[in-house]
Structure 1
C-alpha cells in the first residue's frame, strides 16, 4: 500500500484501508470503567448517556482552526442543527510547537473549549492522538521530533513513547477532568488515528498497549477505542450494519461530508449526503460524526501540502460561519434520529416483517423494531419520483385511495406504534416527521409535507381525547388527522388535541419552513421558533422571550415567525435591516521593508545554526515555512557548475548578494555560472506545507523534509541528474519468479508503462519493469539510480544480475553502479515489484545521477523564519524599482472599517498578483497563500477586526508587486443581527 498525493487516490486508499481495518476486522469499543458506566455505557444495540438511550449525532470541527472568540458561535450553530455531540483532535504540534513548551491558553485553551461544549449541553468525542492526519502540517507531529535520533513514530519505540508520554502528561488531565462522570462533556476517547494495524480494540503490539496503559493510568474512565470506526464518504454503504458478534453500537467517527478540496456549496451535495445519512439511520446505525461539519482555517503555518489557509471542506457551516444547504440536511436527519433515539438505540432489523408494505417494488424497504416502536423506511434509489399505495394490515381503510410519494434518492420514514406518553401512541404516521419536542404539558410533533401531499397521522389514546379543531377527528380510543397540505402554507398548520393531562400538538409545514424551524431550550423549557433564517442566543427575562436572530445580508424581505411555547403560538415579525456591505476596500499607502537582508556578504550569523551539512527547515527550532542557508564556495576556475543537495520546497539562490537562480529544491541540483575564487552562497528556501504522513510508520527524520539537507556536492559541468523514460512492464505469476531473473526484453511480451500507473488493478500481484539507462559520458566512474518510491517491495537487476532489494513503499532508496566496464555502454535496468494491497507499480519518476566524484560543500549555516514581521521600524515607501524584487519582501498598510451597526460583515484578503506567502491582520496570521481551493482570498475572522484602522502585513516570498491586492467582501456569508423581545404573557 502506498501514499499517492492526489485527492482521488487518497480517497480510494483510505476507503479501502478503513474498510479492511474498521469494518470487516474490528470496530469494537472498550467499555467504560465501573465508575463511569452510569453516565456513559452501551450494549450491542446502542449508547446510553446518563442512563437514557441516546443517538449520537456528532459534528466534526477543530478548535485549532477557529479563533477562541468564535468557539461559542460555531458550537451554537452546531447545536441549532440538532447535533448533540462534537468530535475534535487535540493536535500535538498545536500545543507543543516548541519542544517542552506547552500552550493551553487563548486559541489553545482546550479546557475552555470543552467547558463551552458542556455549557451548551453537548457531548464531546476527543481524539487525543498522538497522530492526527487532518490535512495538518506533518500530520500533527511537532517538527522537532524529526531531529531525534533513532525515533520511529507509531511503533513500540522508546524514544517516541517518551515524548508522547510527556505530551500526554499535559494533555490528558485537561481531557479526563472533563469526562462525563466528572461533570464534563467527554463521552468517548480515541487513541491514535487511522493506524495501519490497530483499529477498534485491536492492539497488535506494545505501542498500542503503551498508549492504553498510559491513558488508563492517567484516569481515562469513559469508553475508548483505537484509530477510528467506519471511516468513509458513505459509511453505511450497501452492507449490513447489524452484527450479532459485535458487543457495541455501530458508529462512524469519520463520515466524510464533502471533501477538503472544496470551498462552498456545490449542486447536489445536500441531496447526496442526506441520503447517505439516512442509510445509516435506516439500516441500524447508532450514530455518526460528520468530518467535517465546520472546517475552519489553517492559521499560521499549520496547513499540509494539500491545502493552504482555507479548510472550508464545502460542508454545512462555512469557513466564515455561513450556513449552506447541506446544513439543513444535517439538521433534518439529526432531529429525526434524536426524536426516535429510544427506537434507534435499541432496535433489531424488521425489514422482513415489512418487506411488502410498498406496492411499487421499485421502492426498497428497511425497518427497525424495538420496545419503543417501529420505524419503516421507504427507499427510492432511483432518479425519478415514485408514488406508491401502501399495503398495511389494519390500516386498509385509512390508506384507501392514498399514495405516498418518495422523491428521487429519498429515504422516507414511516412511524408505527411509537409511544409519546402513557396516554398517547403514534399508531401510524404517513407524513415525514421532522422532530418531536416535549414541552412541559405539551408534546409537539413537527411534520414536513409539500402542498397537496397527505397529512396523515393516527394516534391511539388510552381514553377518549378532545379537540376544538374540526380537522382533528376524535374516536373512542383514537385520533386521526387526515388532510392534504394546503397550497398556501407560509406558516405552520396547527392541529391539537388533549388526552389525559397532556396536549398533543401537530405542526405541519413544508420543507422550506422546517429549514427555518429551530428548537431551543431556555431556563429548562423547550421552545420552537419557526420562520427565521437562524436563531442564535435565546433567554427569558422579566416575562420576555429574547432572541438573537440572523438574516443573510443578501436577504431583505420581512420574516414572519412564530414562537411556540408549551401552551400557545406567538406570532412576530422581523424586518431585516436595510443596506448591504461595501464590496471592496482598495489598499494603498503601502510601506515596504527588505526581507532578504540575509543575502548580504557581511550579515551577522552569530545566532545561526551551524553544521557540516545543511539541515532541514526546522532544525533550528523555527516552525515557519521559510529559512535562509549560507555557505562558502571555493571555485577553482571560471565556468558552469552544478550544486547537488537534497531538498524539498522552493528556493532562490544568491551569489555574493545578487540573485542567481530560482530553484525547485526537489530537483536536488542547481546549475550556476561562477567565476574563479571564493563566493558567498545564500539560499532562501520555503515550502507550502509538509505531508500529513497518512498511514506512515517508522523514522520521520528524512520523510518529506523541507529546505536543504544531506551531503552537498559541487562539480564543474552538468546538470548531472536526469529522469529515466520509456518504461515497460510485464506481469509475473508468483513471488518466486524473481529467483529466475528477469525475462528477456521483448516488446511482444512487455507493454509500455507510465510512471505512477497501477498495473495490479488494486490487487496483490507481481510484475517486471524495464528500461534502458543511456550510455554515460567517458570517464564516468559512478552512476546512482535514485528511486523515490515503489509500491511495495523492489528487487533491482542491472543487465540481468540482481544488485539490490528494498522493502517498503514511499521510501526513497539508491542503487549505485561503479563498474567501469558496465558504464561504457547502455545499461538494462529491470525492477521486480511485489504488490500486496491496493495500487502497485513505480510511484515516482526514477532518476539517475552521474555526478560521481565531486567537491563537498561544508560549513553550512541556517536561520529559519521570515524575520520580525511585526517590527515597527525599517519601513519605507516603495518605489517603482521595488515592485518586482524577485526576493522576499514585507509590505504593510492600514485600512479602515466603518461601524458594523449590528451586522456581521465578512472580509477577505485577496492576494492578487502576489506569489507565495503569509498575511497578518492586526498581528494575527491568516495563513498561507495562494489558496488551493476554488477561492482566491483569505478569510479574516471578524473577531480579529475592529472599527476604524486595522493593520495589514504581507510577506511575499517571491517579491511580487502588492498593487493589485485588496480587501473584498464575502457578502453571501455576511449576516444582519436582530435582537427581538417577545412578551410571553
Structure 2
C-alpha cells in the first residue's frame, strides 16, 4: 500500500493556524497508538477485533434512556456504537448552541466508554438518517446563493464553524487521548451524489478540517471515498459484490459494512416496513461473514423516535414524509424492547466473538475439499489448519444434509430453507485442542476459571461435536449423553440432542478443565454474557438489565426450566461443580411478584380551543413565503388572500412551488387537502363575489436524501387562479428504441397498480414469484401507460402530445425521465439525477399555444405521477398575509355535542402512573379517531401524527412524565379526542427481579 501522509498548516474556522505532523502509514499498519489496521481487520490495543457496531442516535431518545439502550446493545454482543451527530439539534438557531440535556453528545460518548463500548463517530455535516434536512439547520436556507454538500465558500464557512464546536467533543474522547472513539467518518454517502473534481475538493476540505482540529484516529467514509480514508460499504444484500468492489479499490485496507440495513424507514400512507424477517436478517449477517467482512455496523440497532419536527423526507415520490416513529424494524424497537431480530443479531455476534481471531485472520477457501448432499451449497474460510464452512440450504423445507470433511468425517447438517449453518472444522480452542461441530457456538472463553464452550442449535435438533486433543481426554463424572472416545483417549465425539433443559459436559484434557454447555435455540436466546471483574453467564432469562445501583436484574424465561448461572456465582474455585449445584434457587419475592397490575391513566375532561380562521391577524407579504423566508423553523403556517369571481364556478388553483401538505379553506370551510407536492393544483368551488382563501400548511419534513437538499418548505412564490391540471401518464408511444417490456393486462388503460419505490428499497434482493405477465413492444406499438413500463437494460424513448391551450406558463411535475424534449428542444435540467424519481421542471419557455409534443426516456418505474400544470402569468393572486399558528392561552370545556369541524386544539391532564420496582413500563398514545396534526407532552413536541398509517401509536417517554402531565393535541380537522387513549406496550407487565 502506498504511504499516506499529511503535512503542513491547517486553519480552523476561527482563523487559528496550527501545525500538524503527518499520519504515516508504513507497510500495512497505521503507526498510531492503540488503533491500527491491515487488510484483514482493525487492531485495537494490539488485538484483532471484529467490530460488531450498533447504530444508535443519542438525539432520538431522552438522555435517561441512553444507558438501557446501550446496555442491551452490549448484551447482544455489540462491542461498538456508531452514532451521527445532528448539527441542527445542536445549533437550532444560528449561533445558539445546545450541548446539554438530551443533546449532551459528550455525555453519550462517555457513557459508551463506561459500558466498555468503542465508538464510530459520524459528525457529518450531512448525515441523511431520515432526519430533517439531512442534519443541516433550517436557517442555512436563509443564506443567499448557498449550495449544500459542495465546495461552496458560504456553505463551508458554516460547516467550519460547526466543526469548531463538534470536533473538540470528539477529539477529547479519541482512543489516542485515553477515550473510546476509534474511527471518525468523513461526510456520508457522498458517492451517491457526486464523483468529480469539485466533489473531491469538498471531501478533502472536510477530511483536512477533521485532521486540523486534532482527529488522529483512522478516518472512514461510506459509499464514496477520499484519499487517506478507509471506505466502507452500505447494504443489506449481495455482500459478495460489495466485498469485491472494496477489495478492488483498497486491497490493503480492512473491509467493513458501515451501514448494514437491519430494517427500513416508514412514511405516511405506506405499508409497514417489516419485509426483512429475523431469519433473513440472520442469513444476511452470515453472508457478510462468509464474504470476509470483519466489521458490521447494524443500521439501525435502535432507531428511536423523530421527536419534534425532525422527521425527514426522501426520494421516490413527491410525498414520502417520514412518520414520527423511527422504529426501523430494528433489533431494539422504538421502546427499547428486544425483538426476534435482536436475538438474531445476538446469535451471530456471539458467534463472531467466539471465533474472533479465526474470522479476522482467515482467507476464502476453495470448496473442492468438502462434499455435500444435493441441495446444500458450501463455501469456506481457512486459517492455517483451521477451517470454517458455511452451509447454505437451497431447499424449500427443513432438511438434514450430510457433509464430508474428509478423513472419514461426515457430519449431518440440519438447515431451514435459505439458512446458512456454520460448520467448525478443527477450530483450535486452545493450543492442542481442536473442535469440530455442525452448528453455532455462542461462547468460547474462560468462565469461572473453566474454559467454557456453549453449543446452540434449533429446538428439537441434534448436533455433532468432536474434540481432538494432543493430551488425554478424561470425563469428570458419568456422562448420560451418547459419545464415543477413541482407544488412545485423544478423540471424543458427542451426539447431542438439544432439549429444553440445558446440558453440561465437563472434561479434563491434559489436566485443564473444559465445560461444554448444550442449549437449544430458546435457551441460547436466553443466555446472556456479562462482563465485569470476570466474565459470567446467566442462562434462562428473557432479558437482563442493570438497575441504578449497578445490580443485575432479570426477567425469567420459562417457569418450567430453572435458570443457570456460570462465572462469579460459582463457589468451588477452579474445579467445575456439578450440574445440579449450578441451579439457582427460586427467589420467593420474585415468585410472588405480579400481583400489582399497572393501571393506565385515563384521558378525560378534555378542553378545546378552535382555530378561529376569521380572526387571524397576519403579516402582510407580496407573495407566499416559505417557512425559512418567514423565519419559522417548523410547525404550521396559514396563507391568506382574497379572491373575486364574477360568477359561481369551479376554478383550478395552481401552486408552481409547494413542498408540504396543505388544507385549502374558502370562507372558513375546507375545500380540499393537497398531498401531492413539488407543484400542485387544487379545484375550488367559487361563489360569486369576494371570498377569503386560507391555506393551512404543515411543515412535513425536509429532504434528507436527494440531489435537491434545501427545498423551500411550505408555499414559496406566487399562486395562480384559473389554470388546468393534466395527467400525462397515459397515451405514450414508443419511438426508435430496442425492444422493451411492460406489464399489465391491457395497454392504454388506467387499471394499473403503482408500487412506491421507497417501500421496496434497493437494499433488498427480492426475486419475486409467479408467472411473467410482461409484454414486449417495439417502435410503432399501441398506446401505453407509463406505469406499465418495467424497463430493461436500455431505456425506451417515448413520445406523446398535450394541449397547452392559451396559457403562457407550464410546470411538469412527477417522475420525469431523462433526455426531456419539448417540441424538439432539449429542456435544460443541470441538476437532473436519473435515480431520483421525482422532479419539478418549469417548461414555460418551451411550450407553445395549442398542441405540444413531449419526448423522454424512462428509467424509473413505476411512475405514479406525471402532471402538467398550465396557467396564465396574469392570473397571479396578490395581497397575501401569513400567520404562524401557536397554541392558545385559554381552553374551554369540550362537549362533543357542541363540536364543529375545523382545526382545533385539545388539552387534558393525567397523573403519573404508579410503577412498582419490579416493572419497566413503556407508555404510548393511541390516536384513534383523529385526523392529522401534532402532539405535545408537558410542552415537549412529541411529533406529527397522521391517521393514514402505518403509525398508530406515539411514544410518550416515561422520563418526560411529571406528577401531573399536560397533553396537548392539534387536529387539522377538529376530530373528537374522545377515543384517544394511553396504553402500555406488551412487555410492561413483565416482572423483574434482582439476581443473587
Same fold flag (TM > 0.5): yes
1:484-495 aligned within 5 A: 484-486=495-497, 488-495=499-506
Could you tell me how far 1:246 is from its partner in structure 2? 1.3
Structure 2 residue 714 is matched with structure 1 residue 707: yes
Specify the alignment match of 2:428 in structure 1: 419
Question: Which residue of the other structure, out of 521, 543, 551, is the alignment partner of 1:534?
Answer: 543
Structure 1 equivalent of residue 757 of structure 2: none
User: Alpha-carbon deviation of 1:465?
Assistant: 5.3
After superposition, give the CA deviation of every residue in 1:330-374 in whole Å (9 maximum; x if it has no partner): 11110111221111111111234xx34234143222222225833
Could you tell me which residue of structure 2 aligns to residue 186 of structure 1?
181
Map of 2:684 onto structure 1: 671
Q: Deviations over 1:415-473 (max 9, x none)?
A: 34433334x42253345312212236322111124556244231324x44554234488
Asked if structure 2 preserves the Cα contact closer than 8 Å seen for 1:200 and 1:227, the reply is no
CA spacing shift, 1:613–1:82, aligned 2, 3 Å = same
Distance in 1 (CA, whole Å) between partners of 2:673 and 2:171 is 49
Alignment of 1:745-894 (within 5 A): 749-755=780-786, 758=789, 760-761=791-792, 763=793, 765=795, 767-773=797-803, 776=805, 780=806, 782-797=808-823, 801-802=824-825, 804-807=827-830, 808-809=832-833, 810-816=838-844, 823=849, 826-833=850-857, 839=860, 844-858=865-879, 860-864=880-884, 866-868=885-887, 873-880=889-896, 883-894=899-910
Mapped to 1, the partners of 2:403 and 2:969 lie a distance apart of 65
Distance 1:421 1:888 in 2: 70
The change in CA–CA distance for 1:867 and 1:190 in structure 2 (over 3 A counts) is same
Q: Take 1:267 and 1:579, find their aligned partners in 2: how far apart are those partners?
A: 38
* 1:58 to partner: Cα distance: 1.3
Would you say 1:366 and 2:379 are equivalent positions? yes
Matching residue within 285, 296, 299 for 2:293:
285
Asked whether the 8 Å contact 2:79–2:117 carries over to 1, the reply is yes
Task: Report the equivalent of 2:159.
Answer: 164
Per the TM alignment, residue 890 of structure 1 is displaced from its structure 2 partner at its CA by 3.3
1:514-553 aligned within 5 A: 514-522=524-532, 524-537=533-546, 546-551=551-556
1:900 aligns with 2:916: yes
User: Following the alignment from structure 1 to structure 2, what is the Cα–Cα distance between the partners of residues 408 and 660?
Assistant: 54
SS of the residue 2:237 aligns to: coil
Is contact 1:905-1:974 (8 Å) kept? yes
Instruction: State whether structure 2 residue 254 is matched by structure 1 residue 246.
Output: no
Report the counterpart of residue 227 of structure 1 in structure 2: 222
Contact 1:728 1:770 in 2 (8 A): yes
User: Which structure 2 residues correspond to residues 311-460 of structure 1 after superposition, within 5 A?
Assistant: 311-352=326-367, 355-371=368-384, 373-394=386-407, 396=408, 399=409, 403-422=412-431, 424-439=432-447, 441-449=449-457, 451=460, 453-460=462-469
The 1:142/1:453 distance shift into structure 2, 3 A limit, reads same
Aligned equivalents of 2:213, 2:472: Cα separation in 1: 58
1:14 is matched with none
What are the superposed Cα offsets for residues 761-794 of structure 1, whole Å, 9 maximum, x if unpaired?
2x454613212317x3xxx363525345523331
5 Å-filtered alignment, 1:97-136, equals: 97-136=92-131
Q: Match for 1:93 among 88, 91, 98?
A: 88
1:616 CA drift (Å): 1.0
Residue 857 of structure 1 and its aligned partner are, at CA, apart by 0.5
- Asked whether the equivalents of residues 127 and 134 of structure 2 are also in contact (C-alpha less than 8 Å), the reply is yes
1:363 touches 1:380 (CA, 8 Å); kept in 2? yes
The 5-angstrom pairing of residues 692-703 of structure 1 reads 692-694=704-706, 696=707, 700=709, 703=711
Task: Please name the residue that 2:5 is paired with.
Answer: none
Deviation string for 1:810-837 (max 9, x for gaps)? Answer: 4422223799xx63xx40322244x6xx
The residue that corresponds to 1:21 in the other structure is: none
Instruction: Classify the secondary structure of the residue corresponding to 2:637.
Output: strand
Question: What is the TM-score normalised by the length of structure 1?
Answer: 0.82
Matched, 1:255 2:260: yes
Q: CA deviation at 1:684?
A: 2.2
SS in 1 for 2:405: coil
Give yes or no for contact 1:31–1:224 (8 Å, CA) kept in 2.
no
Q: Counterpart of 1:622?
A: 632
Match of 1:6 in 2: none
Separation in 1, partners of 2:718, 2:309 = 27
Q: Could you tell me how far apart the structure 1 residues matched to 2:350 and 2:403 are? A: 26
Q: 1:237 offset after TM fit, Å?
A: 4.8
Q: Structure 1's 202 and 379: CA in aligned 2 closer, same or farther, altered over 3 A?
A: farther
Q: Is the 8 A contact 1:42 1:248 kept in 2?
A: yes
Separation of aligned partners in 1, 2:195 and 2:843: 40
CA gap of 1:728–1:750, structure 2 versus 1, over 3 A, is farther
Find the aligned partners of 1:186 and 1:900 in 2 and give their Cα distance: 38
Alignment partner of 2:141 out of 138, 146, 152: 146
Q: Equivalent residue for 1:298?
A: 306
Equivalences, count: 888
Name the residue aligned to 1:739: none
Which structure is higher in RCO with an 8 Å CA cutoff and minimum separation 6?
1
Normalised by the length of structure 2, the TM-score is: 0.81
> 2:554 matched to 1:564?
no
Pick one of 659, 670, 679 that aligns with 1:648: 659
Cα deviation for residue 557 of structure 1 reads: 6.8
The CA distance in 2 between the partners of 1:263 and 1:79, in whole Å, is 32
Q: Match of 1:64?
A: 59
1:18 alignment partner in structure 2: none
Q: Distance in 2 between matches of 1:580 and 1:181?
A: 51
1:816, 1:266 → 2: CA distance? 43
Q: Does 1:976 align with 2:991?
A: yes
In structure 1, list runs of 5 or more residues that go unmatched. Answer: 1-28, 735-745
Q: Say which is worse superposed, 725-734 or 411-420, in terms of deviation.
A: 725-734
Q: Within the alignment, does 1:729 sit opposite 2:757 as a pair? A: no
Cα pair 1:550 1:975 within 8 Å, conserved: yes
Query: 2 CA distance for matches of 1:97 and 1:630?
Result: 28
In structure 2, relative to structure 1, the CA distance for the partners of 1:672 and 1:517 (3 Å cut) is: same
Tell me if the contact between 2:788 and 2:862 (Cα under 8 Å) persists in the aligned partners: yes
Calculate the aligned-residue CA RMSD, in Å: 3.6
Q: Structure 2 CA distance, aligned partners of 1:327 and 1:515?
A: 9
How much does 1:954 deviate? 1.2
